[in-house]
Structure formats: structure tokens, C-alpha cells
Amino acid sequence: GQNIDQPTEMTATEGAIVQINCTYQTSGFNGLFWYQQHAGEAPTFLSYNVLDGLEEKGRFSSFLSRSKGYSYLLLKELQMKDSASYLCAVRDIPGTASKLTFGTGTRLQVTL
């Protein structure tokens, strides 16, 4: 079966750094995605990891360790607009239509 775990909620201060963790246990692995979702809106793509290591994109970085079934999303220089849910999603082996299995999301609140 598929199991993806993320913290339900986190709070951080504007200008700070926050790390959102994701652990997964899936029958196969063919990539991990992070999406941002503001309330009432569609998920928007943030990052993709398929090999171990860190991928950096501006204020956002994502890390993957396949042997540990672990990823994190790092957000730097937090802004109020970063208040949103952050979804971790795993794509399992090819041949299963590239469907994504999502975690329940981590709701991040950025405060002054």
C-alpha cells in the first residue's frame, strides 16, 4: 500500500526559515513532488526530486533520501503569501499511469 506522512500544521514567522518533512512508504518510487495549495485554489507545482540530494529553486529547496523514504521542503525568507498548504506526492513505478499519491498536506501559517 501507499503511505505518506506529513505534519498537519506548522507556524513560522515572516522572514524565517521553515522545513516541512515528508516520509513515505510506497510499493514503488519514481519521483517525489511538492505542491503549494492556497485555500480554495488548485495545487501549483513547486519541485520534483527523483535522485537523492537537494534541488534549489529560489527561496524553495527540496531534499530527497530514497533509502530513508524521506523528503523535506525548505522555505527561506518566509513571506505572508507563503501561508498555504504544502502537499507531498509520490509517483510510483512507471506503468501505473504516473498517478500521484498525495499526503494530507501541511498547513503553514506565516505570522508577523
Partner 1 sequence: DTGVSQNPRHKITKRGQNVTFRCDPISEHNRLYWYRQTLGQGPEFLTYFQNEAQLEKSRLLSDRFSAERPKGSFSTLEIQRTEQGDSAMYLCASSPRSGGADTQYFGPGTRLTVL
Tell me which residues in 76-95 interact with partner 1 (CB under 8 A): 87, 89, 91
Task: Decide: is 41 part of the binding site for partner 1 (CB under 8 A).
Answer: yes
Q: Which of 1, 58, 81, 97 binds partner 1 (CB under 8 A)?
A: 97
CA nearest 28: which of 93, 72, 85, 84? 93
Assess 33 for contact with partner 1 (CB under 8 A). yes
Amino acid present at 93: I
Are the beta carbons of 26 and 2 closer than 8 angstroms? yes
- 73 makes contact with partner 1 (CB under 8 A): no
CB of 45 vs partner 1, minimal distance in Å: 5
Q: Is residue 22 within 8 Å of 8, Cβ to Cβ?
A: no
- If one counts every other C-beta atom within 10 angstroms of the C-beta of residue 58, the result is 7
> Under the rule (CB under 8 A), what is the footprint of partner 1?
4, 31, 33, 35, 41-45, 48, 50, 87, 89, 91, 96-105
